[in-house]
Amino acid sequence: MEKNPLSMQLKLKPEDFLPASNEEKESLVVMRESVSFWKDGLRRLVKNKVAMVSLFIILLVMVFSFIVPSFYPYTYDQQIRGSESLAPMQYSEQEQARIDAGESVFPHFLGTDKLGRDYAIRVMMGSRISLLVGLVASAIVLVIGSIYGSVSAFFGGWVDMVMMRITDIIYTVPDILIIILLAVAFEEPMKQLATLPGFEWIQKLGVNLISIFVVFALLYWVGMARIVRSQVLMLKESEYVTAARALGASNGRIIKKHLLTNCIGTLIVTTTLQIPSAIFTESFLSFLGIGVAVPMPSLGSLASDAINGFRTYPHLLLAPALLISLIILSFNLFGDGLRDAFDPKLKN
Amino acid sequence: MLKYIVKRVAFALLTLFLVATMTFFLMNMVPGGPFSAEKAVSQAAMDALNEKYGLDQPVSVQYKNYMLKAIQGDLGVSLRQRGRTVSSIIATKFPVSARIGGMAIVVALAIGIPLGCLAALNRGKALDNIIIVIATCGIAVPSFVICTILMYIFGYNLGWLPVVGLTSWKHYIMPVVALAFYPTAYIARLMRSSMLDVLGQDYMRTARAKGLSQSKSLFKHALRNAVLPVVTYVGPMVAYTMTGSFVVEKIFTIPGLGGEFVGSILNRDYTIIMGTTIFLAALVIFMNVVVDLVYKLVDPRIQLK
Amino acid sequence: MSEYLVNIQNERLSFFTPAGEVKALNDVSLHLKEGEVLGIVGESGSGKSVTAYSLMGLTAYPGRLIGGTLDFNGHRINDMTEKQMRKIRGNEVSIIFQDPMTSLNPVYTIGNQICEVILLHTNKNRAQAKERAKELLTLVGINEPEKRLKQYPHELSGGMRQRVMIAIALACEPKLLIADEPTTALDVTIQAQILELMMDLKEKLGMAIIMITHDLGVVASMCDRIAVMYAGKVVEYGSTDDIFYNPKHEYTRGLLRSIPKLNEKEHKKLVPIEGTPVDMLNPPKGCPFAPRCGSCMKICLREMPAYTDISDVHYSACWLLQKEEFEKGGNA
């Protein structure tokens, strides 16, 4: 047996062998500070560079879509005569003349389209629509899905059976076909509804936009409902809930303290990952010409319009196409980061 | 087993029935009839056409008539393409979509599964990061972006590949690549995470403790367990991809089922809308059954009930 | 060739996690002769399993061996390539894991999984391997081996599966069998059966066993030698008699006080060990057990104690033993 050489060389004094006091002993116990689930998750999220960069991009895109257009010198439907089909940063003859006369003219960063509309503002408005669709649709899916899923799990028995069979059926429905059909079918009733008093806001938001929300609400909650149901079922049968019940905790307390705190991480993650898929579908619908209506742009419809002339004006296609890819990518990466940070199952 | 089949078929028929019903009533909500677009047609002629196809009757009667015929396998005739039955249109368009879709699926599986495995095996290393980045970008880029970029580079700039139609094998390359892009990326991600999951399982440790080489334990013990989530995803995906991507068919002007469907909605060609939806729903349901059977083959724990 | 089948000297092993380096093994030394049974006892996280796994080259990512030497059956494990290690694993040394429910691959039959290891390490053909598999199943007390070979793991009970795991481990008649808490996941009645089976097989086949457990009852009945581990260190090593009747380390004493004894005349109260195990991310500077030790001294908090030999085969790392020597030295 090799001796530990270090301690053999130690000069030991008799007082070293006096008993240590309790204080001395306690001072040595380095208790790692106990961190709450949220703090711990947040710390991990902040450490995740990819997720933070994605979050920054998302916020940046939001600023450009919701704030910048309100003080931008051009509007999305303003047609500037003589400035049709300009290349990025190019000025029309009139504008050049004004510049020469000493006036300042705001540049067209992305040029203009063939109707003389500033393309930069159109792309910003397009991403506003895309983000709106993503956020609102996911919120709707979250609400419907969690209510449906928890009701199903909570009541169990035949209620659960019937409700789950219904989701099974919706799951088998070819969703893209139904979405296209729904989007077309809802257009007219929505238009009529918009003329009724009290529903003018529909007109303001755009009929197609509303029908897209409805379509998402009707179809995409199924996945969410299944996730919520399985979470609630798992928790309902877990031992600590039984323990809490045995200790006399009320139903309300169990739901608040145990079910919600344990579900919420999964819900946030699923919702965040729902956003890009909603944006994806909206752009796809707009591309096929069934999305939002003219002159309102969405990134999909901008890209779709640009396809025919894209050999001559590739930037008209590339700008919205790249932006939508960037938005979806950022949401996906941020969602992945959230999942890594808040899903306790993946915690290492 | 027999009980399982009976249950499964009954559920499939119920789903199909509900899908058909839903589609039928949704379709009738769509404003305008199939003949209103043709301005040249006089009111009298339009009435005659409506009467001929039974569109003058109440919706409930139309519904009953359609369903009774559909049960006998008769999906009716196209309202806009004179003299063609819906079945014959599906029969000519579906093989085109199916061929491109089938190739895309083969490509997606052949690339996605190895990529996912490679990433999982090199967890945390450079190769893993590269694959994750590519795959994450892959699911973030909409297909119309891929299509147009491909078209721009290989069709116009380099002039290597034809951009329209489907007459030679060269025509297939771009649509297949565009169609395979998303599933490839998705499968790679799915495969990576399920592979990581499997690699952490106790039986993988047992395999190593037995003295198996890494490749042997990977191919024999890990792959079969890890591929299960991919099977679940690929089933319905096969159905969707084979019936054609609307976007890819639109951009490359391919005469497939997807383009037919979008066209029929814009034209209010009711019978085609119904026929295509029912056909696709049936295909999805069929693929789900196939998935269950494949599952049973791969995983002996699954009991069909 | 040394006199020992297994000889681990000053092994150091760390896990390099994102949160920092976790020193899982800190200067671990152990040895074991052929045919002997060594028990490694300690609480969870004390490094029992890590020690055993490292002997098979099975250290899990992100763990790395950073010091010491490991010798087994004439092989220097440190210097062996993965390819050479593979020839030993399942052949000269095999392992039984804690949870038989998850240690067998769910998608292959029992027969397939037993034959696999036979085909890998011997020259037997498929038919011979199958014969051998049947033999093994009979050996581990499973009846109707022909039928069992065709079954899948989920069709067997936990105890059955652990027997299958033992059959796999014994397939190539290893020199050393590592049993990592082989009975923890099983019912008490099954536990006894499995332990009995293992001792029986040891008699028949003459292999050495390393039994990893936190159950002192198991080691008392089975083991020739015992190593008590705490926070990545072997705090005391000795024969079973040494450990049970002449424990030298305060932790060992604490462990013994915390188990009930049936044969004692007066009913003594059980004494639990106060406090919680150390945080391996920030281990204390001195003796890791010091904060929980009833006889803790000032030096214990500052410095790690060295090993003191009590006899040829009994040693322990505790300042109390050093104190005795120091006082003797001081008197002389």
| Long-range CB pairs of C19-27, under 8 A, 24+ apart, other chains included | C19/C281, C20/C281, C22/C280, C22/C281, C23/C232, C23/C280, C23/C283, C24/C50, C24/C63, C24/C232, C24/C280, C25/C50, C25/C51, C25/C54, C25/C232, C26/C231, C26/C232, C26/C233, C26/C283, C27/A4, C27/C68, C27/C233
Q: What is the pLDDT of residue C176?
A: 92
> What distance in Å separates the CA atoms of residue A345 and residue A338, rounded to the nearest whole number?
13
> What distance in Å separates the CA atoms of residue C192 and residue C169, rounded to the nearest whole number?
19
CA distance B148 to chain A (A): 8
* Cβ contact C112:C167 at 8 Å: no
Residue from the list B123, B211, B299 with its beta carbon closest to the beta carbon of C121: B211
Q: What is the pLDDT of residue C267?
A: 63
Q: Is the Cβ of B221 closer than 8 Å to some Cβ of chain C?
A: yes
Residue B187's pLDDT band (cuts 50, 70, 90): very high
Residue from the list A2, A3, A28 with its beta carbon closest to the beta carbon of C291: A28
> What distance in Å separates the CA atoms of residue B103 and residue B181, rounded to the nearest whole number?
12
Residue from the list A10, A28, A32 with its beta carbon closest to the beta carbon of C301: A28
Closest CA to C296 of B216, A110, A26: A26
Q: Count of A–C CB contacts within 8 Å?
A: 75
Q: What is the pLDDT of residue A4?
A: 45
> What distance in Å separates the CA atoms of residue B200 and residue C264, rounded to the nearest whole number?
46
Residue to substitute from B94, B141, B157, B189, interface A, most A β-carbons within 10 A: B141
List the end-to-end C-alpha distance of chain A, in Å, as a whole number. Answer: 37
Tokens matching residue A312: 């001559």
Residue to substitute from A164, A175, A176, A177, interface B, most B β-carbons within 10 A: A177
Q: Is the Cβ of B211 closer than 8 Å to some Cβ of chain C?
A: yes
Res B37 pLDDT > 80: no
For C149-174, the pLDDT digits (tens) are 999 998 998 888 988 999 999 888 89
Using CA coordinates, name the residue in chain B closest to A324.
Answer: B141
Higher pLDDT, A294 or B119: B119
Mean pLDDT of C12-34: 85
Res B110 pLDDT > 90: yes
* Cβ contact B228:B298 at 8 Å: yes
Closest CA to B270 of A188, A169, A185: A185
Of A73-77, B64-68, C92-96, C325-329, which gets the smallest average pLDDT?
C325-329
Mean pLDDT of B70-85: 77
Q: What is the pLDDT of residue C263?
A: 67
For C75-86, the pLDDT digits (tens) are 888 888 888 888
Chain A residues in contact with C297 (beta carbon < 8 A): 16-20
ipTM of the prediction: 0.82
What torsion, rounded to 10 degrees, do the Cα atoms A69, A73, A75, A76 define? -70
Chain A residues in contact with C305 (beta carbon < 8 A): 4, 7
Interchain CB distance below 8 Å, A181 and B277: yes
Using CA coordinates, name the residue in chain C closest to B203.
Answer: C103
Q: What is the pLDDT of residue A2?
A: 43
Interchain CB distance below 8 Å, A288 and B247: yes
% of chain C exceeding 90 in pLDDT: 19
> What distance in Å separates the CA atoms of residue B6 and residue A348, rounded to the nearest whole number?
46
Residue ranges of E strands in chain C: 6-17, 20-32, 37-41, 63-72, 75-76, 93-96, 176-180, 208-213, 225-230, 233-239, 307-311, 314-317
For C178-214, the pLDDT digits (tens) are 998 888 878 888 888 888 888 888 888 889 999 998 8
Chain B residues in contact with C86 (beta carbon < 8 A): 211-213
Residue from the list B209, B224, B301 with its beta carbon closest to the beta carbon of C58: B209
Q: Is the Cβ of B145 closer than 8 Å to some Cβ of chain A?
A: yes
For residue C8, the cross-strand partners are C30, C70
**Cβ neighbour number for residue B24 with a 10 Å cutoff:** 20
Using CA coordinates, name the residue in chain C closest to A5.
Answer: C306
Highest mean pLDDT among B52-56, B240-244, B271-275, C228-232: C228-232
> What distance in Å separates the CA atoms of residue C173 and residue C118, rounded to the nearest whole number?
10
Using CA coordinates, name the residue in chain A closest to B265.
Answer: A181
Q: What is the pLDDT of residue B48?
A: 72
Query: Side chain identity at B57, as an amino acid letter?
Result: Q
**Cβ neighbour number for residue C182 with a 10 Å cutoff:** 29
Interchain CB distance below 8 Å, C27 and A3: no
Q: What is the pLDDT of residue B109?
A: 93
Q: Is the Cβ of B14 closer than 8 Å to some Cβ of chain A?
A: yes
Q: Which domains does chain B have, with CATH numbers?
A: 94-263 (1.10.3720.10)
CA distance C17 to chain B (A): 12
Closest CA to C286 of C221, C205, C231, C224: C231
Interchain CB distance below 8 Å, C330 and A14: yes
> What distance in Å separates the CA atoms of residue C257 and residue C237, rounded to the nearest whole number?
18
| R_g (Cα) of chain A, nearest Å | 29
CA distance A28 to chain C (A): 7
Closest CA to B118 of B187, B188, B185: B188
Mean pLDDT of B258-270: 79
**Cβ neighbour number for residue B133 with a 10 Å cutoff:** 13
Residue from the list A10, A24, A32 with its beta carbon closest to the beta carbon of C301: A24
State residue C314 phi and psi, 5-degree precision: -130, 120
> What distance in Å separates the CA atoms of residue A50 and residue C100, rounded to the nearest whole number?
39
pLDDT per position in chain A (348 positions), as tens?
444 444 445 566 777 777 777 776 666 665 555 667 777 778 888 888 888 999 999 999 999 888 888 887 777 777 777 777 777 777 777 777 777 777 777 777 777 777 778 888 888 888 888 888 888 888 888 888 888 888 888 777 888 888 888 887 777 776 667 777 776 777 677 777 777 776 666 666 666 677 777 777 777 788 888 888 887 887 777 777 777 777 777 777 776 666 666 777 778 878 887 888 888 888 877 777 766 666 678 888 888 787 777 777 778 888 888 888 888 889 888 888 888 777 655 433
**Cβ neighbour number for residue C286 with a 10 Å cutoff:** 21
Q: What is the pLDDT of residue B40?
A: 56
CA distance B295 to chain A (A): 18
> What distance in Å separates the CA atoms of residue A164 and residue A171, rounded to the nearest whole number?
10
Chain B residues in contact with A332 (beta carbon < 8 A): 136, 139-140
For residue C316, the cross-strand partners are C236, C308
> What distance in Å separates the CA atoms of residue B285 and residue B292, rounded to the nearest whole number?
11
